[in-house]
Amino acid sequence: EKADAEAIMAGVQQKLDNMQAKFDTAMAEKRRLEDDAQATQARMDSATALISALAGEEVRWTEQSKQFDLQIQRLTGDCALASSFVSYLGPFNKEFRDLLTKRDFYGDCAARGIPITENLDVTRFLVEESEIGEWNLQGLPTDELSIQNGIMVTRATRYPVLVDPQGQGVSWIKNREEKNALRVTGLGEKMFRNHLEDALSYGKPMLIENIEEDLDPMLDPVLEKRVVKKGKNLVIMLDKEVDFAESFTLFCTTRLPNPHYSPEMSAKVTVIDFTVTAVGLEDQLLGKLILKEKHELEEQRQALVEEVTAYKKKIKQLEDDLLFRLANSTGNLLDDVELIDVLNNTKQTAQEVNEKLATAAETNVKITEACEEYRPVAHRATLMYFLIAEFATCDVMYQTSLRQFNALYGQSIDDAEKAAMPAKRIKNIMEHMTYTIYLYIQRGLFERHKLTFALMLTNKIQVSAKALSLDLVNVFLKGGGSLDIKSVKKKPADWIPDKCWLDLVALSNHPTFSDILNSFQRNDALWRQWYDLEAPEQAPVPDFEDQMTHFEKMCVVKSLREDRTMVAAQTYIAHAIGDRFTESIPLNMEQTWRETTPWTPVICLLSAGADPTKLVEELAKRKKIKMNGVSMGQGQEIIARKLISAATQDGTWVLLQNTHLGLGYLTEVESFLTKTKNLHEDFRLWITAEPHPQFTIGLLQMSIKITNEAPVGMRAGLRNSYNWVSQDMLDAVPLFEWRQMLFVMCYMHSIVQERRKFGPIGWNVPYEFNQSDLSACVQFLQNHLTEMDAKKLASPTWPTVTYMISQIQYGGRITDGFDELLMDTYAGKYFNANALSKGLEIYPGYVVPDTADIGEFRAAIEKLPALESPEIFGLHPNADLTFRTLAVADLVETVIGTMPKSGGAGGGSSPEEIVDKICEDLLSKVPNAFVVELVKEALRKLPGGPTQPLTVHLRQEIDRLNIIINLTRTTLVNLRLAIAGTIALAGDLVEALDKLFNASIPTAWLRWSWESATIGSWFQGLLQRHDQLDKWLTKGRPKAFWLTGFFNPQGFLTAMKQEVNRAHAKERWALDDVVMDSWVTSPPLELNQ
């Protein structure tokens, strides 16, 4: 029974177990279904999230996918273009880069059928916006050219050489590589080798500053990357093995504005032109101005730039992260919760960022609008900076760095008169800044360049304001230089010189003067009367006075009376930008000293008769500071080093004289001043030097330049002298005679100095009369009058006074007998009993003030005439002609020499096209060279045969002319080929291109030929010379000869004497006894050849 019960129980248990198993299975199934439902729900949620996250992306991604397909197809061409861009376009400016990219690189790929993107933006193709933003924050200017340069520096495989005269590239690289422990060095440094080895071994970036036109050959293996693997390491072979880390990078910079690198060096490095652009500089200067005037706006803008850069960087990171996860995701995408979170996050951040970017863009527009009002100031400053940079080409010593300019710019904004109205404030800043910068620059210019600089500044301002056209400026500079008198309208009267008529023909192409040639026919008498005036620029111009500007009047004056151009230029400058730009400003040593710092030396530029040493010594005496000097030369560096070393500790001054004789040491001085941080605050360095092409650019750019030449004009000379005379000096002798004689002395000093400008008419020898002569004479007069006062004498001892002044003080320099006589005459004229009469009028308009106050003397000097007649020096009014005409030629040459060589903007022809037309025209007129065999034949037929002296002379002249004709033809043909791109434009051809464009004569032609003012007159001379020799050869000896048309007129005269001598051989005439006789035929005999 028990067994039955257990059996039943087992059966029930079995059922129960089965049921339990079923229940468990069912529960498991339920749990699975619940899990499945949950997972499905989660997937649905993920899918929903994914769908919402990707909402709007489908269109974008589909579009992008299509774009990517197209991009991949065009990738070959795009990469080819981008690599060519980085490899080849570094040395060129923005315009030329664009031209080559579009015309040559794109054109070549398109012609070969290579798929390529049209108008590819290389910048955006090679670099992300976020990286550009980062560069800008590190100090890279924001203009397009600078960004392209940034790409070349960071992407090129060859190490970069930055042509960086303004130092903007250097500061960017220093900021950028600072975190990588950048090593800055120079080729001249003692430890250069160690720096290089360390940087190579530890993989640090290295910057070599201020290289010249070649690099140390030791760097060749580095530049050529001659790296070899040795075991696990990389090594590079200098003169010994050095470890090489792949993270090493090298940067080189040069301050030379236009370096000439050899083809070998250019192949080893990437040369990049980092010269500042007008657009880039204007934006930078505007930023500085806004920071001062509306600093909250500029700070807001800076913060925005940083924010936008950070946002763009963030979006880029998120997108990269998302793409990485999508690419590497395995299994079901909906199960990757992290990926979906990242996607959501990206979407959310992108929305936020886009909103912030939109806000930033709006704010930026508002800020930009507020800033634009101030742009004229930045534009004017940019004009001035580029003028200053261009002007350095006329003298290497006129270097001004961008840093100096920025400091001046900032200072003049602070000092300009405040105003509540922005428009008034802007006007105040512009006027004050223009004059401040002008004063700073003209203090370091030689006298002959001061008016030129003012004229160029005025022209730039007027052209920029659309008040003057560049075409008219070109007519003013070149005139009718490239015209031929035979191919233009015939001149109506013989009194008009050929050159003047050609200039008028060129001027008649300008709308204002379209009728000027006819005006000469109508009003011949009026024009002649105007032409004969002593100062025509002050008289009305016949027919045109009411309808022309001051610049146009200056053009008419230059065309007809070139000698009065400078005077007309002063009127034009005064009217356009103000009288003060034409005034001579005396050198103020006190003011100059206030601008210096221990790190800013003063360079005094030396010229004939101008040595500021005495002024520096006097300044040191007034400041009660000890000054030590050394005259540089061989072996003097050791003394100079000791003096500077001691002075920087004690706070004394050092004067290095004649440093052009010790240029090597100046690099060391520059390096010392740049790297020494602690200098005594009273230490100052003064340097005197003559202009020298090898002078250290860095030192010029960090220093203040001054010149101390005698100013041009009597008023300027007296102003200069009375700037030196002080109230104490006037009170030194309490006598009326002393003050009177002091004025007369200064007057005579100006007369003596000014007379030099007339060349040999003034002094037979140009003596270097300077401030020390005046100082010595004044000292003598002071002593003499003190003695006279003590001895109670009635008047000075005149013979002593004249002897001391003319024979001792000034006479010490005079070597020529006639010049001695002249100096004695001046001394006798100005120092005699009449010199002490009250109200003395030395010359009409020049009265000696009767006062004891220095201020009244200075005020009286300011009222003197600005221009003086040569009669004040005892010369004829015509003495002015030569001196003034030469000054104008010098001005035109300087302006043309400093003008940028690129043209073609504004829809006109480019310089190359203009020169090509000139070459074509000249080639059609070049006469054929004489054929040697035919010449020999013709010479035999001439009377007396080929051995006659004059016939021998003819043969020599023909040989010389043939050289010129062949040279002219070859140059013109080659120039046309070079312009067409068939041969290389190099050497003499570059110079010939510039000269012909400026209507001048190529130097290569002048070496063999005759002097001439313009290419037109030179070419006319060539044709006339050929005509004279050709007629002589073919038609026999002419009745009259054009003597100046021979290369060797002296040879012609000698041959003539020989012929006369031979004709009288029977009378036994000796050659030495044959004498020339000349008489003027009146009226001129018309000799028909």
Which pLDDT band holds residue 53 (cuts at 50, 70, 90)? Answer: low
Above 70 in pLDDT, residue 1086?
Answer: no
The reported pLDDT for the residue numbered 380 is 93
In which band, very low, low, confident or very high, does the pLDDT at 902 lie, cut at 50, 70 and 90?
A: low
Q: 366-370, 448-452, 570-574, 840-844: which has the minimum mean pLDDT?
A: 366-370
DSSP code string of 127-181: S-HHHHHHHHHTT--SSHHHHHHHHHHHH-SSPEEEE-TTSHHHHHHHHHHGGGT
Which of helix, strand or coil describes residue 1065? coil
The tokens of 852 are what? Answer: 């004891």
The pLDDT tens digits of the residues spanning 725-776 come to 888 888 888 888 889 999 999 999 999 988 988 888 889 988 888 888 899 9
Q: What is the mean pLDDT of residues 853-860?
A: 91
So what's the pLDDT on residue 1020?
Answer: 87
Q: What six digits make up the tokens of 496?
A: 């008009």
296 pLDDT tier (thresholds 50, 70, 90): confident
Residue 968 scores a pLDDT above 90: yes
Query: How far is Cα 1 from Cα 279, in angstroms, rounded to an integer?
Result: 116
How far from 291 is each of 34, 361, 410, 799, 1013, CA to CA, in Å?
A: 67, 20, 10, 68, 51
pLDDT tens digits, one per residue of 349-404: 777 777 877 877 787 787 778 778 889 999 999 999 999 988 888 888 998 888 89
**132-136 mean pLDDT:** 87
Stretch 445-465: mean pLDDT, rounded?
A: 92
Amino acid at 1013: A
Q: Computed from CA positions of residues 1010, 1014, 1018, 1024, in that sequence, does the dihedral angle turn out positive or negative?
A: negative
Whether pLDDT at 57 is above 70 = no
Confidence (pLDDT) at 453: 93
Mean pLDDT of the region 283-311 = 80
* pLDDT (tens digit per residue) in 549-576: 999 999 999 999 988 999 999 999 999 9
Position 779 pLDDT exceeds 90: yes
Residue 699 confidence (pLDDT) above 60: yes
Residue among 635, 633, 636, 695 nearest 667 (CA): 695
**Reduced to 3 states, what is the DSSP secondary structure of residue 590?**
helix
**Considering the entire predicted model, what is its pTM?**
0.80
- Find out whether 764 and 818 touch, Cβ atoms under 8 Å: yes
pLDDT averaged over the chain? 87
Q: Are 455 and 582 a contacting pair, CB within 8 Å?
A: no
Q: How confident is the model at residue 905 (pLDDT cuts 50, 70, 90)?
A: very low
- 644 neighbors 654 (Cβ within 8 angstroms): yes
Average the pLDDT over each of 10-19, 321-330, 851-860, 977-986 and give the range with the smallest value: 321-330
- 903 has a pLDDT exceeding 50: no
Q: Is the predicted pLDDT of residue 633 greater than 50, yes or no?
A: yes
> 235 to each of 158, 223, 250, 251, 867, how far by Cα in Å?
18, 14, 16, 20, 74
| Residue pLDDT, tens place only, 915-952 | 898 899 889 989 999 998 999 999 888 888 888 899 99
- Using one digit for the tens of pLDDT, what is the confidence trace for 646-677? 999 988 999 999 999 888 888 889 888 888 88
> Residue 1087: pLDDT above 60?
no
- Secondary element (H or E) of residue 411: helix 402-415
Residue 448 has pLDDT above 90, yes or no: no
CB atoms within 10 A of CB 890: 15
Phi, psi (deg, nearest 5) at residue 183: -100, 115
Residue 55 has a pLDDT of 64
By the 8 A CB rule, do 467 and 1003 touch? no
| Cβ–Cβ under 8 Å, residues 241 and 285 | no
Lowest mean pLDDT among 192-201, 344-353, 455-464, 1008-1017: 344-353
Residue 1084 is predicted with a pLDDT of 56
C-alpha triplet 994, 999, 1004: angle, nearest 5° = 60
* Mean pLDDT within 849-860: 90
Residue 427's pLDDT is what? 92
User: What percentage of the chain exceeds 70 in pLDDT?
Assistant: 97
With a cut of 80, say whether residue 521 has pLDDT above it. Answer: yes
The more confidently predicted of residues 493 and 348 is 493
Higher pLDDT, 702 or 1085: 702
pLDDT of residue 686: 93
| Per-residue confidence (pLDDT) for residue 823, from 0 to 100 | 93
For the four alpha carbons of 922, 928, 929 and 930, in that order, the dihedral sign comes to negative
Tell me the average pLDDT across 170-184: 91
pLDDT band at 906 (very low <50, low <70, confident <90, very high): very low
> What separation in angstroms does the CA of 351 have from each of 272, 358, 362, 365, 553?
40, 10, 17, 21, 65
- What is the pLDDT confidence band of residue 430, given thresholds at 50, 70 and 90? very high
Q: Which of 259-273, 317-331, 595-609, 667-681 has the lowest mean pLDDT?
A: 317-331
Strand partners, 272: 162
Lowest mean pLDDT across 143-152, 320-329, 1069-1078: 320-329
Q: pLDDT by residue (tens digit) across 456-490?
A: 999 999 999 999 888 899 889 888 877 878 788 88
Q: Please report, as a single letter, which amino acid is at residue 936.
A: K
